[in-house]
Amino acid sequence: MLISGFNLAGGNYHRARRESIVATVLVVLLALLLIGQIVFWAAARREEATVASRLARMEGELQRHQEQVRATLAGIPGDVIKHHEARVATFNQILEASSFSWTALLLELERSVPPAVFLSEIHPDLATGVVRLRGVARSFDDLTLLLRGLEQRMVFRDVYLLRQAERKAQGHGPEGLDFEASLLYQGRGQ
């Protein structure tokens, strides 16, 4: 009796055919990825060449402009340049002074100065932020209270007592201690 449709090699044939189709699909997929990579690489090389030519052109223009500036500066007398540099420095100082907030500094000092201490002079150095204070305290304890109060404020740092001297009552002035203190004010940009 002959059984039709029964083939012992059929399973291997189907498996081999499936594996060859999968392998073919993988090869085609890898080939497509390789072609895509080559296209991307070529586009990147073209872009790199374009950027390099633009950069070279810009560097050439920059060099020409620098030569023009040197030639122009060579024709200007030195005293005129110094005069304009001094004016620029003055304008920079004016800009720094206009950005300094006296209100913020005075508010912080008001919060730190005890009632028995009188400030007579406040000198801020706008470039460094150092503030020099001069004044009179009724006693050494009041002066110590002032220094501690300044140190406790977050906007003041490096508080130093520079000078103190006993002051005798003269006419309308109070008796106590003349003092001079220095501190670093960090609230300049506010």
Q: Is 81 helix (H, G, I), strand (E, B) or coil?
A: helix
- Give pLDDT tens digits for 22-51: 999 999 999 999 999 999 999 999 999 999
> 134: buried, middle or exposed (CB in 10 Å: 19+, 13-18, 0-12)?
middle
- Give pLDDT tens digits for 47-102: 999 999 999 999 999 999 999 988 888 888 888 888 889 999 888 888 877 777 88
CATH superfamily, domain 100-185, is General secretion pathway protein M, EpsM (3.30.1360.100)
Say how far apart CA 102 and CA 166 lie, in whole Å: 30
Residue 165 CB: number of other CB atoms within 10 A? 8
Q: Is 138 helix (H, G, I), strand (E, B) or coil?
A: coil
Q: Where are the domains of the chain?
A: 8-75, 100-185
- Give pLDDT tens digits for 137-187: 998 999 999 999 999 999 999 999 999 988 776 666 667 889 999 999 987
